[in-house]
Amino acid sequence: MELFAVEGIPEVRPGDDVGDLIAERADLREGDVVCVSHSIVSKAEGRQADLREFDPGPQAERIAERIGDLAGEAKDPRFAQAVIDESRELLTEEPLMLAVTRFGHISVNAGIDRSNVPDADLLLLPEDPTASAERIHETLGVPVIVTDTSGRPFRQGQRGVAIGWAGMPAARDWRGEHDRDGRELGVTVEAVVDELAAAANLLTGEGDDGLPVTVVRSFEFGDHEPHDGLFRSANADYVRDALREWEYDRERLRGEEGDGDGDDGGGDRGESDAVSGGAK
């Protein structure tokens, strides 16, 4: 298997056809998988927004005040309102806004970016990334994964993840297969779209690389049962359930602060900027 970035993708504007932009610059083959950063998908779908578009309500005002007190600087409640509007649920409100998006992804600040957005204050995630992937897949004729970067529970740092996919299953289901000693596997479901998204992120980068599209060549899914349940059901997610009861204790966690674990990697979404103003 090999990966290479697609060169020459221009600054994407609302109404642009991402599939056509890729097809014009990539000589794709059968068996390729195309990983596309959500940023160009969101831009093409007009998902830019300005802070003035959001009228903060009482919840946004309260969150901005609380996080501002923790950070030692004023925070903009309009940003908090943008996160609320893009969310189905907030699992935490402080020291950061951990949001469940409307399509099931969980991310700090609902995945809203403030970096590499030349024409607006904010870049929102696509409304339906799988539908976005399906449209690009129809143009390219190969599997497509729409990616973002996200933090990881229990670990520092960020990695690429899939937020939408088309033309391939999300996961390999190993349950019922056997290891080398003949033991039957009972729990292993391998999230291959996340693994490919993470590999692609090594090439797309996080800053000003300007390489939002990666082609994965010669990936083989193998003879495994397909599985599409990438997002864990809320009813079966005990971590989410525990977060609903969790309360932030600054004194207890003080010794852990400043270790670089506050940012989920989504452009500019860190703990210290959890309710940020218009600066990008």
215 forms bridges with which residues in the sheet? 4, 34
Q: Are strands 189-190 and 87-92 parallel, antiparallel or unpaired?
A: unpaired
* Confidence category of residue 116, pLDDT binned at 50, 70, 90: confident
Three-state SS across 181-196?
CCCECCCCEECHHHHH
92 forms bridges with which residues in the sheet? 98
Q: Higher confidence at residue 189 or residue 70?
A: 70
Q: Which residues contact 242 (CB under 8 A, 6 or more apart)?
A: none
The Cα-based distances of 99 to 127, 243, 249, 261 in angstroms read 14, 11, 19, 17
The three-state secondary structure class of 37 is strand
Which helix (DSSP H) or strand (DSSP E) does residue 60 occupy?
helix 58-71
pLDDT tens per residue across span 80-100: 999 999 999 999 999 999 999
Distance from chain centroid for Cα 21: 22
* Confidence category of residue 255, pLDDT binned at 50, 70, 90: low
Which parts of 146-272 fold into alpha helices (H)? 192-204, 238-245, 250-253
- The reported pTM is 0.86
Q: Is the pLDDT of residue 183 over 70?
A: yes
pLDDT at 278: 32
